[in-house]
Amino acid sequence: MIYLTIDELLDKNTISQSIHMIEERDKEINSVLRIEKVEGNKKGKYYGIPFLVKDNILIKGTKTTNGSKILENYESPYTATAVEKLLELGFSVVGKTNMDEFAMGNTNEHSAFGPVKNPRDLSRVPGGSSGGSAASVAAEYVPFALGSDTGGSVRQPASFCGVVGYKPSYGMISRYGLTAFSSSLDQIGVLANNVKDVRTVTQIMKGKDEKDPTTMDHKIDLTKDLDMDLNQVRICIPKIVYNKNLNEEIKVQFEKAVSYLKQKGAKVDIVDIPELEYSVAVYYIIAPSEASSNLSRFDGVRYGTRKESSGLNKMYRSTREEGFGIEVKRRIMMGTFNLSSLYIDQYFSKATKVRRILKNKLSTILNNYDLILTPTSPVLPPKIGEKLTPLDYYLMDIFTIPANLVGLPAISIPFGNINGLPFGIHFIGKYMKDEELLTIVNRFYEQTVKGLK
């Protein structure tokens, strides 16, 4: 089934084939939490084509666990707008994918339902937090899967699993029905085998939704190429890419991508953007702060598996103590601290100011350049169980976080292998000009990257 695009799958019903593959192969990979079939509109153009959905997106008729014990038995009361639109056109859901608990993490080892194995090397992590979606596409179960991206959770696992991962501009796709982690950063994104399918699926999901006031209308057809070629493109590489003591092999592979682009006529400059140095710090103040507020609803009363105890406060405490895993607790504590009256000025307020400065800086850069280029991740997929500190993990998001802080569209595409492990390069585009980003990246992908597979 793999390498067939959605268009090539039209009129072939591959739903049962997909379910069969999951049943056969996923005992080992663990990327699908549950096979849950929700059929699309039989009259829709895409009827017969299956897809998978990250388990933090609601679909009526499925559970939505968020990879957490606290929501182990939670039944989705309604369907997310993005999924609704796909079902309407005929696509069918075949299951929900594994993820780091509440989308916090980048290895999938923080799922309450066990780690996911990377299909390209079973001893390694698939990335996270949408690792189940990335692994499912890489394992050829489905032509595409939905994920969510708050700081890189679609793009980083795409890079680790050798697939394409795209996070649209903030406001392009409705978040209605996506469990809130950090609402000012979250976006639903697509993982697929090629850029073309990413365009097809996003074109269907995008648009203004009354149920999410942060959505915007976007009139341009994302599936159509604009009149832009690689020889007109101006690309900026932030100097930080070279400061980061990148592993030598990553540097060599990245340089190969740069020289391919130059060969095609693109103008490439290295630009010092010192503000980027602060993006991980800013993210790890803002995201946990918003999360500590968003996750307060999981208290055993309105949501969540209740742990009975004597008295209301004790019941809250034991529910949250037993229901949440270690990383989620760490984030809630950091966020609550950042927002506390004594420290809010020093941390949260300051972080929002730095976020604004970064936004202004990147808009200026993108007045002079069409794209910003970096590796997707500064590291290759670690081994499952490798013991790194939380800070080591947080620093892995250095290249993906800025696009979320500023609301820009960004995409990771596979660019060959390093010692047999997939490697992704990452392009950031202009705000709400996703059509430009996708046109250029698709050209590059079709002309160059496909040949490297």
Q: Binding residues for ligand GLN, per CB under 6 A?
A: 103-106, 129, 148-153, 181, 287, 397
| 171 torsion bin: left (phi>0), alpha (psi -120 to 50), beta (else) | left
Cα distance between residue 225 and residue 440, in whole Å: 8
Strand segments, DSSP code E, in 204-304 are: 234-238, 267-271
Q: Which residue is nearest to ligand GLN (CB)?
A: 153
Catalytic residue status for 16: no
Q: Minimum distance from CB of 189 to ligand GLN (Å)?
A: 9
Q: Measured from the CB atom, is 104 or 237 closer to ligand GLN?
A: 104
- From first CA to last CA, the distance across the chain in angstroms is 16
Q: Which residues contact 92 (CB under 8 A, 6 or more apart)?
A: 15, 37, 38, 39, 40, 47, 48, 49, 50, 51
Least Cα distance to 65 among 100, 22, 117, 26 occurs for: 100
| 424 torsion bin: left (phi>0), alpha (psi -120 to 50), beta (else) | beta
Q: Minimum distance from CB of 281 to ligand GLN (Å)?
A: 13
Reduce the DSSP state of residue 86 to 3 states and report it: helix
Q: Measured from the CB atom, is 131 or 323 closer to ligand GLN?
A: 131
Tokens 């009975």 — which residue?
308
Catalytic residue among 129, 182, 292, 377: 129
Q: Minimum distance from CB of 147 to ligand GLN (Å)?
A: 9
Q: Minimum distance from CB of 412 to ligand GLN (Å)?
A: 12
Catalytic residue among 153, 182, 289, 292: 153
Tokens 């927002």 — which residue?
339
Q: Measured from the CB atom, is 150 or 338 closer to ligand GLN?
A: 150
Q: Which residues contact 354 (CB under 8 A, 6 or more apart)?
A: 275, 278, 281, 282
Q: Minimum distance from CB of 278 to ligand GLN (Å)?
A: 16
Read off the DSSP letter of residue 168. Answer: P
Cα distance between residue 302 and residue 429, in whole Å: 40
Q: In which element (H, E) is residue 350 found?
A: helix 350-368
Q: Measured from the CB atom, is 236 or 295 closer to ligand GLN?
A: 295
Catalytic residue status for 129: yes
Q: Minimum distance from CB of 286 to ligand GLN (Å)?
A: 11
Q: Measured from the CB atom, is 284 or 415 closer to ligand GLN?
A: 284
Helical pair 326-339 and 279-294, crossing angle rounded to 10 deg? 100
Catalytic residue among 18, 31, 54, 85: 54
Catalytic residue status for 54: yes
Q: Measured from the CB atom, is 158 or 261 closer to ligand GLN?
A: 158
Query: Known catalytic residues?
Result: 54, 129, 153
